[in-house]
Amino acid sequence: MLKQRIITALLLLPLAIVFLFYPSLQNFSFILVAVFALLAWEWSGLLETNSAIVKYGFVAGALAIVGFFCYQLFDMGFYESPNHIFLQKAGIGLLDFYPFKALMVGALLWVLAFVLVLMFPKGTKLWTRGAALRMLFGWVMLASAWLAVVMIRSSQYETDANYGGFLLLLMFLIIWGADVGAYFAGKTFGKHKLSPVVSPNKTWEGFFGGLILSLMVAYGLATYIGMPLPLKFFVPFVLILGIVSVIGDLFVSMLKRQAKVKDTSNILPGHGGILDRLDSTLSVAPFFVILLLLLKGGF
């Protein structure tokens, strides 16, 4: 299984790098819509329903919300000149700026998701009476993550079209570092279970090992591209995002356990579905933008 996971990851890595850097910002956004359509379809398998109408309705709803965001950004002139939006809005308070309100809603929902993980299996009746609440979670989490990823990719786009790609790569290194570090540290030192009911294989030793590796690889890339934050802010920035990545993983694991599915699909050999690989991205992306704005005041 590990060998298959490594082979799949090595085959996908060049494609991911091309996607992060090659397309224009507008094309990147459109391609990302297709990726999130697949994520929405996989999420529909966690709704515990056999109704095709509900599943297709969920996917259609997710695409409608993402499409609305895409249209709003287009209407604001974002794709022609993304950076001028940040400059024009700098004096009125970031939370008054339309896109970031949506990111704040997404971040708050992830805080609620963390509470649900802590309560599991108690409290499941709150969100398993039909598919409505899980649909709402999915719509908000998918749409806010899409918006956040596009925002990150737009960073300094007018002066350096590749900088946003490097920031996205930094985000993914934080996530991958937390995941890979947790796997190997857990295998080597793991004794104390992190969340035995939700994910029995995760340990506290793996959790801290993941944070250490996440900080190391993030520091390496940040040194290469130029620190996006002063070091006194960069360290807590990475550690917070590493913790948030674990929350995203645990929340989707909880949904899968409740729905009695091992993987959200079999599209990626050795990895399961795209949602299985990008669950942490959904949680980290909004916080990545919000923390950068709070700690740095902009991109």
CA dist 54 and 64 (Å) reads 15
Lowest mean pLDDT among 185-189, 219-223, 263-267: 263-267
Residue 135 neighbours by CB under 8 Å, 6+ apart: 47, 54, 58, 61
Give the 3-state DSSP-derived string for 145-185, with helices as H, strands as E and coil as C: HHHHHHHHHCCCCCCCCCHHHHHHHHHHHHHHHHHHHHHHH
pLDDT band at 204 (very low <50, low <70, confident <90, very high): very high
Model confidence over 5-39: pLDDT tens digits?
666 667 778 888 889 999 999 999 999 999 999 99
pLDDT score of 85:
56
Model confidence over 239-267: pLDDT tens digits?
999 999 999 999 999 999 998 888 887 77
**Per-residue CA distances from 38 to 27, 43, 70, 245 (Å):** 17, 9, 17, 20
Quickly tell me which residue has 């287009």 as its tokens.
Answer: 74
Q: Is the pLDDT of residue 142 over 80?
A: yes
Number of helical H runs and strand E runs in the chain: 10, 2
Amino acid at 70: C
Model confidence over 52-105: pLDDT tens digits?
999 999 999 999 999 988 888 888 788 887 765 554 444 434 445 556 778 889
CA dist 216 and 219 (Å) reads 5
Amino acid at 211: L
Model confidence over 164-184: pLDDT tens digits?
999 999 999 999 999 999 989
pLDDT score of 228:
85
For the chain, the average pLDDT equals 87
pTM of the full structure: 0.92
pLDDT (mean) for 134-154: 94
pLDDT score of 87:
47
295 vs 205, more confident: 205
pLDDT score of 94:
43
pLDDT band at 226 (very low <50, low <70, confident <90, very high): confident
